[in-house]
Structure 1
Amino acid sequence: MTGPDDVGEAWRALGRQLADLRKAAGYTQHSLAPKTISARSTIANAETGRQRPDRSFWERCDAVLRTGGVLATGYDRVIALQRSYQRSRSATAFTASIASARVDAARPARGPRAGVMDAITSVDGAAADDTTIVTAMIEGRPRRVQLSRRALLAAMSGSLMPPLAGVDATGSEETVRVDPALIEHFAVLRSVLVESDNRVGAAAILPTARQQLGHIAGFRRVARGGLHDAFLRTEARWAEFAGWLSDDLGDRAAGDWWLAQALTMAQEASDAEFTAYVFARMAQRAAEATDRDRVLGLARAADRSGAAGPPVRAFAALQRAHGQAIAGDTSAFQAAVDDAHNLVTDATTDGGGLGSFCTVPYVWAQEGDGWRRLGRPRAAVTCFDRALDAWPESYRRERGLYLARTAAAYAAAGEPEHAATTALAALERAHLTQSARTRREVAAVSSHLMTMYPTEPGVADLHAALATSPKMR
C-alpha cells in the first residue's frame, strides 16, 4: 500500500531529475528562475522536494530545458501516486467516522450525533468507480474525502439537511447539545456543493446553500464558547459561497447582501484570513463595476491582513491590477500582475485552502481581463488561451466565461469570425452550467459584432443561436 514516505520520495526524485536536467543544460538555479517565471527559491525547494509546484511549473521547465515533456510526465506520475495515497487514507478515516455515526444513529434521537447520518448519505470504498474526491477546509486544515456520486446528487437535490440535534419537544434551547462533528460535516458538504456547482451551475445549488445556511445559523445560535465561533466561521464561508452563486445568476443585490454578511461574521469571529479574502472578493465585484477607487481601497484592506496566505494575497494583488487597468496605468498593472504570478508560483499548493482557485492559469485569465481593459486585445487573447489550455476540463463555468471574454477580445481585435466561433462555444457552456453571467457576456459580444460586422456568416449564426436560446434568470 502506498504510504506518505513513498509520496515524499517521489517528489524528491522528481526534484533530483530537475536538478540533473538543469545542470546538463548549463543553467544555475538563478539563471533558470526568470525563464520559468519563478523565484530561485522555488527552483531550489522543488529540487529537494520541499516545495511542490503545480504542473505549469514543470511544463515551463520542460520548455526551457528542452526535455520533451519528461518533467511534466513525472509530475503526473507523482500526482497519481499522491492521490492514490490520499484516497486510501481518506476513505479509511471517513468510513470509520460514518460507521461510528451509524452506531449513534441507531440510538434515540436525543444523542448529540442525531441527524448526522441523514446528512451524509453514503461513502464507498477507495476502489469504487462511482466515487469522487472532495477537499474540505476544516478549521483551517485541508481534508480530502471520498464521496459517492449519490452524495453529489443528494446535494444537488437539497436533501442533505441535518436537523437541529438534541432539541426537545418544547424547543427549549437549554436542552440543546450541539455535536462538534457538524463543523466537519458542513465543511465537507460545502465542498460537495462547490464540486456540483462546477458541473451543473449555480441555479441547482443555491437553494440548498440557503437551506444549509439556515441550519448552520440554528446551530450557531445555541452553541457556546469556541464551538460558537467555529460555527460563525463556517457560516461566513457559506454566506460568501451563496454570494458567489447569486452573482453568477445575475442577482448582484443578493450577492452584495451575502458578501456583507460574510464580512460581518468573519470579523466577529476574528477570522483574519477570511476577512482579507472577503475584502478581495468585494474588490473583485467593484472591478466589474469599474469603480477604481473602491477596487484599490478594498484591495489595500485585504493586503493589510498579515494572516493571509499567498493565494489570498495573490488574489488581492490581482484586484490591485484591475484597479490600475481601470485607471489606464499599464506599468502599475503589470507590476501587480507580476506580484500575483510570484505569489502563486512560490505557493505550496494544498489542494483546498482558502483562495486555492488562484493558480497560475487563473492569474493568466485575470491578466487577460486587464489587457482587454487597457485596449490590448491581442495580448488578452494570448493570456486567455494560456489559461484555457491549462485549466481542468471540469471547470465548465469558468471555461465558458473566459471563452466569452476571449470572443470579446477577438471582436475588439477585428477578427469577427474567430469572435463568433468562440462566442458560440461559450454559449454552449453557458447552457450546460446555467450561467446567466456567461450568457450576458456572449450577448454583449453578439451585439457588438452585429453592429460592426452584420454581414459575416458566423456573426449571423451567433445572433440566431442567441435568439433561440432560453434566457437564464
Structure 2
Amino acid sequence: MRRLLIDMDNVMGPRSVLQKTTEQIHIIEALLKTRTGGDQRELKQLRTQYAEFCGWVHQDAGDFRAAQYWTDRALEWSYSSGDPDLTVYVLARKAQLAGDMGDPFLAVDNGEAALGMARRNTKLPAVAAVYAAHGFALQKDAEGTSRAYDQALELLSTDLDPSSPWGVWLDEPYIEVHRARSLAALGHHEQAAAGFHTAISRLPSGYTRDRGVYLAREAAAYAGAGEPEQAARVGLQALGVGASTQSARILTELTVLDANLTQWRTVPGVGDFHQALMSTIPRQK
C-alpha cells in the first residue's frame, strides 16, 4: 500500500494520497496495541515510514506546518523503531524541509547531524550532504555549498551496500539538479539554468512530479539570467505537470516566475505563459 501511495503521489500529486496515508497510520497505531516482539518492531518501523511520507506529501502540498508536524512525529517514532538508519533518514528529510522553508540554519544543522550519524556504506551520508548543501547556499556560502555537493558525489562513488533501502533514488543527476537550485540561490542564474537543463535530461523516466518541479526551477533560472522567452517556454512545460498534480512546489515556483516576467510581458511566449497560469490558478478576489 505504501509503495502504491508513493507512485500515486508522483503521478497525481499529494492531495490524491493524503487521506489514505493518514488512515494507514491510524490502522498501524491500532495494531501496535495488539502486537509484541518482532511484529511490533516492524509495525513501529512502518508507522515511522508512513509519518515521514505524510510529512512529504504535506510539504509538496505547501502546508509546511503539517509537514513539520508529521516529520517531527516520524523522528520521534524512529527512536523506538530499532532502526538507526531510519532515524538518520528522517533527520535528513528535516534538513530538506528546512531548505524548502528557507531556513538555512536548520537545513545545515539537521543535514550535518544526519551526515555525522549516517553509516558510510549506505547512500544516507550523500543524502544528508545534499540537503545541507542547499542550507549553505541559503546562507550565501558559495564555498560551503560547493564543498558539500562535491562531498555528496564522492560519498556516492564509494563501495555501497546494494541491499540498503535508503536513498535508492539518489544518483548523480539528482545531486546536480539540486546543485543547480543552489546556484540559483547564490545568484548564478546562467550556471543554474545550464545545470538544470543537463540534469533534467538525465533524470530516469517516471519521476513526473519531480520533473515538473525541476522544470519550474529551470524556468526561474532563465528569468534570473534575463532570458524571458526561454523562461516562458520551460515554464509552460512545468505548468502542465503542475496542473495535473496540483503540486504547490511547482505552482508556487511558477507564480513567482510570472511576477518576475512582468517586465517582459510583450516578449513572445511570456503572455501565453501568463494566460495559461491564470487559467490554472484563478486570481483571488
Go from structure 1 to structure 2 and tell me whether the alpha carbon gap of 1:423 and 1:306 turns closer, same or farther (over 3 Å shift): closer
Deviation at 1:348, TM superposition (A): 4.5
CA contact (8 A) 1:197 1:205 kept: yes
Match of 2:199 among 350, 363, 387: 387
Against the structure 1 CA distance between its residues 309 and 245, is the aligned structure 2 distance closer, same or farther, given a 3 Å change threshold? farther
CA distance in 2, matches of 1:351, 1:464: 48
Q: Deviations over 1:309-346 (max 9, x none)?
A: 53211111012211221222222211110111122233
Q: What's 2:5 paired with?
A: 193
1:438 corresponds to: 250
Q: Tell me which protein shows more helix as a share of its residues.
A: 2
Aligned partner of residue 266 in structure 2, secondary structure: coil
Structure 1 pair 240/211, CA: closer, same or farther in 2 (3 Å)? Answer: same
2:267 paired residue number: 456
**What runs of 5+ residues in structure 1 fail to find an aligned partner?**
1-188
Q: For structure 2, which runs of at least 5 residues remain unmatched after alignment?
A: none
Instruction: Tell me whether 1:215 sits opposite 2:57 in the alignment.
Output: no
Deviations 1:262-303 (A, max 9, x none): 001101223211111111111111112332222221112212
Counting aligned pairs with the same residue, the percent is 33
The aligned counterpart of 1:373 is: 185
C-alpha displacement of 1:225: 2.1
TM-aligned CA distance change 1:363 to 1:306, over 3 Å: closer
Q: Say if 2:44 and 2:81, in contact at 8 Å, map to a contact too.
A: yes
Q: Deviations over 1:99-121 (max 9, x none)?
A: xxxxxxxxxxxxxxxxxxxxxxx
Supply the AA of the counterpart residue of 2:150.
D
* Corresponding residue number in structure 2 for 1:423: 235
CA-CA distance at 1:355 after TM superposition: 1.3
Q: Normalising by the residue count of structure 2, what TM-score does the alignment of the two structures yield?
A: 0.93
Q: 2:98 aligns with which of 286, 296, 316?
A: 286
CA contact (8 A) 1:276 1:308 kept: no
Deviations 1:117-164 (A, max 9, x none): xxxxxxxxxxxxxxxxxxxxxxxxxxxxxxxxxxxxxxxxxxxxxxxx
State the aligned residue count.
282
Q: In the aligned structure 1, how far is the partner of 2:163 from the partner of 2:211?
A: 19
Are the structure 2 counterparts of residues 442 and 349 from structure 1 closer, same or farther at C-alpha, using a change threshold of 3 Å? farther
Q: Larger deviation: 342-351 or 328-337? A: 342-351
Larger radius of gyration between Structure 1 and Structure 2:
1
| Superposed counterparts of 1:122-137, under 5 Å | none
Write the letter of the residue equivalent to 1:439.
L
Question: Structure 1 residues 380, 310: CA separation in 2 closer, same or farther (over 3 Å shift)?
Answer: farther
**8 A contact 1:345–1:360 mirrored in 2:** no
Matched, 1:301 2:147: no
Partner of 2:85: 273
| Cα separation, 2, equivalents of 1:233 and 1:369 | 32
Contact 1:350 1:356 in 2 (8 A): no
Q: Secondary structure at the match of 1:268?
A: coil
Aligned twin of 2:146: 334
Q: Quick one: higher RCO (CA 8 Å, sep 6+), 1 or 2?
A: 2
Question: Structure 1, residues 218-241: CA drift from partner, whole Å, max 9, x if none?
Answer: 111221123212111110001101
Shift in Å at residue 393 of structure 1? 2.8
Structure 1 Cα separation of the partners of residues 162 and 198 of structure 2: 23
Gap change, CA 1:256 and 1:454, over 3 Å in 2: same
| CA-atom RMSD in angstroms | 1.8
